[in-house]
Amino acid sequence: MTEKITFYTNPMSRGRIARWMLEETGVPYHTEMLTFGGTIKEPAYMSINPMGKVPAVRHGETVVTECAAICAYLAEAFPQAGLAPQPDERADYYRWMFFAAGPLETSVMLKALGFEIPQERLRMAGCGSFGDVMGTLEKAVSAASPYITGNRFTAADVYVGSHIGWGLAFGGIEKRQAFVDYFGRLAERDAYKRATALDEEAAKAMQAA
């Protein structure tokens, strides 16, 4: 019997990444909405994620936090969805998933906070410069193949694509054509549309409450 999945989120958060991934797997799940500055910091949720941050996924007795880990975990827990990498896709899959969770996320956030790493300290900064991160990401999504690991859509596209989509929408990522084209392909997916509609609806309901 399939173990129950509980998805802890807030619709205006990185939880949208995990929601998209859950919708891609096609497995049923129960959603627990948390409020920022409210239930997210209460003991019941802090026992799930001591960071007091969303998203988190509970699968039976197993808890996973961190969007990239949630995407990778669900891809492996539900192999029938075909979102885990084939052996020849693994290098790109891990490379770009970790690149997005590390250098990309960090450099976009530093920029949003108005912090520029001084040129002479770039050597010790794992994320490198914002310009180098943008250039590297652009090359990764400009390859002849439509997806980040090649011709097949995988969980790495959910994670990398979410960063690009969010960044294009809110200005954290430059509107380069390669980013627009790559994300445009992903946004056509039924699971992406379903996930977005569910979170938009939940956001409206939370605002009205």
Ligand X SMILES: N[C@@H](CCC(=O)N[C@@H](CS)C(=O)NCC(=O)O)C(=O)O
Residue 36 interacting with ligand X (CB under 6 A): yes
Q: Which stretch binds ligand X (CB under 6 A): 50-58, 83-91, 111-119, 186-194?
A: 50-58
Beta bridge partners of 5: 59
Residue 14 interacting with ligand X (CB under 6 A): yes
Residue 53 interacting with ligand X (CB under 6 A): yes
d(CA 160, CA 105): 10
**Residue 17 in 3-state DSSP?**
helix
Q: How many residues interact with ligand X (rule CB under 6 A)?
A: 10
Nearest to 162 by CA among 15, 10, 6, 56: 15
Q: Which stretch binds ligand X (CB under 6 A): 52-60, 121-129, 182-190, 201-209?
A: 52-60
Residue 163 interacting with ligand X (CB under 6 A): no
**Residue 6 in 3-state DSSP?**
strand
Nearest to 163 by CA among 85, 119, 98: 98
Comparing CB distances to ligand X, the nearer of 70 and 146 is 70
Binding mask 65-84 for ligand X (x = CB under 6 A): -xx-----------------
Q: Which stretch binds ligand X (CB under 6 A): 48-56, 124-132, 146-154, 185-193?
A: 48-56
d(CA 179, CA 140): 10
Q: Which stretch binds ligand X (CB under 6 A): 51-59, 133-141, 169-177, 180-188?
A: 51-59
Residue 162 interacting with ligand X (CB under 6 A): no
Residue 173 interacting with ligand X (CB under 6 A): no
Comparing CB distances to ligand X, the nearer of 55 and 161 is 55
**Residue 32 in 3-state DSSP?**
strand
Report the relative pairing of strands 56-59 and 62-65 from DSSP bridges: antiparallel
Nearest to 7 by CA among 52, 59, 53, 43: 59
Binding residues for ligand X, per CB under 6 A?
13-14, 36, 40, 52-55, 66-67
